[in-house]
A = this chain, B = another copy of it.
Amino acid sequence: MNLAIDAMGGDGGSAVVVQAIKNVHSTHPDIRFTVFGNQDELKDLTSFCTIVHTTQVMSMEEGPLAVRRKSDSSMIKAIEAVKQGQCDGIVSCGSTAALLAASLLILRTFENLERPALTITFPTLKHTLCDMLDVGCNAENSSEQLMQFALMGHAYAKAVHNLEHPKIALLNIGSEAKKGDSVHKDAYEKIKALEHINFVGNIEGRDLLNGDVDVIITDGFSGNIALKTIEGTISAYSSLIKGVFKSSFIANLCALILKTKLVEMKRYFDYRKYGGAILAGINRPVVKAHGSSDVEAFTNAILLLSRLVEIDVVDRMKELL
């Protein structure tokens, strides 16, 4: 297995990526790496990685048009290496919009697939993992596309989480079949009609974290809003809790006493544990690490990519479409 690593473009710079690659190398010496970026910053990796020097960086702010303009960026060169079969998949923490555009242009989607879907995995209150797609590839989706997401989500949860019959739900504004706009009403019927898919119906925003389902299907607009609303609410709630623990000397003492448990709780919803998001529907595994990834997050993103390559997730998703 040879993984293409885009070393540039994240908030933490290449230093984070270099350390993450070292971490993975120490526990998985069998994995080979081709690392794309400024060679001066990647010297520490020369002993065990193939380094490809690139002169441009696809920064977080870049849109899809940068794909042409920044053809010598680490991101584009890494994707091209995957296209040419030198590497088996790519991880990048650069701009999502550029990564999506370049993946579409260079690697392309599955033959019968209309649109790819950004897929994230998050922990639930039942200590299970839940996949949600799409959370950001698309500004709008048709019911046909939502049906295709259900097929991809099913295959993904089966392959990655070893679930035989993953429970699939559709994010909607009510639990009844007739709820939602025409796209979601249609999608409900189309997903329901799929054979071998364990469709459990609609799920509402308030139940996303409950762990009642394994895969949540959503259009990119609602999915993006739901995901960011979860993030924002956790952040708001955390800051209120912090306020409570800072409210007096004795409250501070309580914080110290509870520290281990509080850190454990904070870790529970910590995206860094889960590595990154997948561009599902692209012909090769593409992992989008968080722009603000630290070493732990990027390490997990690489491990996620290695697992996706290992279990051949792309072919397993393709089979269903």
A residues near B (Cβ < 8 Å) are 125, 136, 139-140, 171, 173, 179-182, 184, 204-210, 220-222, 224-241, 243-245, 247, 250-251, 254, 257-258, 261-262, 265, 268-269
Flag if B236 contacts A265 (CB, 8 Å): no
Q: How many copies does the complex hold?
A: 2
Closest to A224 in B: B173
Flag if A171 contacts B258 (CB, 8 Å): no
CA distance A254 to B262 in the complex (A): 13
CA distance A232 to B125 in the complex (A): 11
Flag if A206 contacts B222 (CB, 8 Å): no
Closest to A206 in B: B232
20 additional contacts, CB 8 Å, given A139-B181, A226-B229?
A136-B173, A173-B224, A180-B221, A184-B221, A204-B228, A205-B228, A206-B229, A206-B232, A207-B232, A208-B232, A208-B233, A209-B233, A209-B236, A226-B226, A233-B237, A244-B258, A244-B261, A251-B258, A251-B261, A254-B254
CA distance A141 to B184 in the complex (A): 14
CA distance A261 to B268 in the complex (A): 24
B residues within 8 A CB of A250?
257
CA distance A244 to B209 in the complex (A): 18
Cβ of A161 to closest chain B Cβ, rounded Å? 20
Closest to A254 in B: B254
Interface centre among A222, A225, A245 (most CB of B within 10 A): A225
